[in-house]
Amino acid sequence: MSILVTGAAGFIGSNFVLDWIGAGLEDVVSLDKLTYAGNRENLASLDGCAQHRFVLGAIEDEALVSDLLASENVTAVVNFAAESHVDRSIVGPGAFIDTNVVGTFKLLDAVRRYWSGLSADRQDSFRFLHVSTDEVYGSLGPDELPFSENNPYRPNSPYAASKAASDHLVRSYGETYGLPVLITNCSNNYGPYHFPEKLIPLVIHNALRGKPLPLYGDGRQVRDWLYVKDHCGALRAVLKGGRPGQTYNVGGESERANIDVVKSVCDILDRLRPLGHNRTYADQITFVKDRPGHDRRYAIDARKLKSELGWRPLESFESGLEKTIRWNLDNSGWVERVTSGAYRDWVARHYA
């Protein structure tokens, strides 16, 4: 028996697959269409592993998904497949609708048909876990309570709206067809294999190359930061003990303003890879025009996950950030290979 992981070559998906295989759990079938952020190299350490099979393909391909579900005797689906960068969704929202909304629908429908043909016992034990984001809840004021699972959805970007739509589709398949679905909404992840367009990997990448470290607006936007391996532990806990039909919020208990995150990266790099001559990486910080509809603050209340399933984040922001920076320093070849010409052109055009 196997689990099917979609979007498995992306940042969080690949970390989850590596974590799952490392824990000695069920076999994994990894499905990814390898867009710019899906990197086959992320899973290269599993080449030759009998517990793992990689398949190139998209969740929109219902025939392929149906074949994999049946031929691999799948017991659970973990859906990471998504377009996930807010800036890209502002420039080109269509791709986000195609993957996050239409793709999720087609995946759900293929899973529903497969699940309907299982025995009663296997139907009861089957799970569809949809991995989503805290951005569906919109923005918080400085004194508002963190997002709980009961917060209304108020997405403010095309990306967030597409993920909100996918969450609603998943929930509807649980309510209408009885499919045993689970939804998780997580805060900002960081860690190994992070494509250098999001804040932390972009700052590391630019800092080491003497480039500007771009910060939107005044840099005081606040995010709750979650080390990716802690996120993987939460997802394992939800798959094992989560109640079908429920949503679980996953946060790192690490609210930080963007400017403070960037300064923390600079401080660690100053220690690990000093520039010399009394220079500091913080001198490269550059403020750029704020993006449209930029949410001011996200924060996650993960008490439900903690109380029901006993999960806790193992890393502080400081310990997780140092591990992330050390990984980037030790894996400079990976970073160079993923930062292709197309990526550099996009970053130059967007942040110029």
Domain that holds residue 121: 2-188+226-252+298-314
Residues 6+ apart with CB under 8 A from 161: 155
Q: How many domains does the chain have?
A: 1
- 177-199 pLDDT, tens digit per residue, is 999 999 999 999 999 999 988 99
pTM exceeds 0.85: yes
d(CA 328, CA 314): 20
Q: Is 310 helix (H, G, I), strand (E, B) or coil?
A: coil
pLDDT at 262 over 60: yes
Q: Which of 1, 105, 113, 126 is nearest to 58 (CA)?
A: 105
d(CA 275, CA 252): 31
**Is the CB of residue 196 less than 8 Å from the CB of residue 309?**
no
Mean pLDDT of 28-42: 90
- pLDDT band at 36; cut points 50, 70, 90: confident
Q: Which CATH number do you get for residue 17?
A: 3.40.50.720
The DSSP secondary-structure symbol of 300 reads: B
Is 198 contained in some domain? Answer: no
User: CA distances (Å), 324 to each of 5, 280, 317, in order?
Assistant: 24, 19, 10
Mean pLDDT of 24-52: 93
Taking all residues of the chain, what is their mean pLDDT, rounded to a whole number? 95
Write the single-letter amino acid at 55.
V
Mean pLDDT of 337-343: 71
Is 89 contained in some domain? Answer: yes
- 136-180 pLDDT, tens digit per residue, is 999 999 999 999 999 999 999 999 999 999 999 999 999 999 999
Residue 134 annotated to the active site: yes
Mean pLDDT of 93-103: 95
Q: How far apart are the first and last CA of the chain?
A: 49
pLDDT at 33 over 80: yes
Is 348 contained in some domain? Answer: no
pLDDT at 222 over 70: yes
Mean pLDDT of 12-35: 96
Residue 36 annotated to the active site: no
CB-count exposure of residue 133 (10 Å: 0-12, 13-18, 19+):
buried
Is 18 contained in some domain? Answer: yes
Q: Which of 80, 79, 85, 60 is nearest to 158 (CA)?
A: 85
Residue 193 annotated to the active site: no
Is 109 contained in some domain? Answer: yes
- 247-261 pLDDT, tens digit per residue, is 999 999 999 999 999
Can you list the positions of beta strands (E) in 166-275?
Answer: 181-186, 188-190, 213-216, 222-227, 247-250, 255-257
Q: Which of 122, 39, 27, 102 is nearest to 68 (CA)?
A: 27
Is 293 contained in some domain? Answer: no
pLDDT at 346 over 80: no
Q: Which residue has the tokens 């350490």?
A: 45
Q: How far is CA 41 from the centre of its chain?
A: 17
Strand partners, 316: none
pLDDT at 350 over 70: no
**Is the CB of residue 29 less than 8 Å from the CB of residue 68?**
yes
Residues 6+ apart with CB under 8 A from 127: 75, 76, 77, 180, 181, 182, 239, 242, 244
Q: What order do you get walking across the sheet with 52-56 strand by strand? A: 52-56, 27-32, 2-6, 74-79, 127-133, 181-186, 247-250
- pLDDT band at 38; cut points 50, 70, 90: confident
Q: How many CB atoms lie within 10 A of CB 9?
A: 26
d(CA 5, CA 37): 16
Mean pLDDT of 291-302: 94
- pLDDT band at 1; cut points 50, 70, 90: confident
Please give the pLDDT value at position 227: 98
Catalytic member of 114, 159, 248, 281: 159
- pLDDT band at 341; cut points 50, 70, 90: low
**Is the CB of residue 248 less than 8 Å from the CB of residue 309?**
yes
Catalytic member of 135, 230, 255, 301: 135
Contacts for 315-321: CB closer than 8 Å, 24+ residues apart: 315/227, 315/229, 315/230, 315/252, 316/254, 317/225, 317/227, 317/252, 317/254, 317/256, 317/264, 318/264, 320/190, 320/191, 320/225, 320/227, 320/230, 320/252, 321/190, 321/200, 321/264, 321/265, 321/268
**Is the CB of residue 258 less than 8 Å from the CB of residue 220?**
yes
Is 194 contained in some domain? Answer: no
Catalytic member of 60, 83, 134, 253: 134
Is 87 contained in some domain? Answer: yes
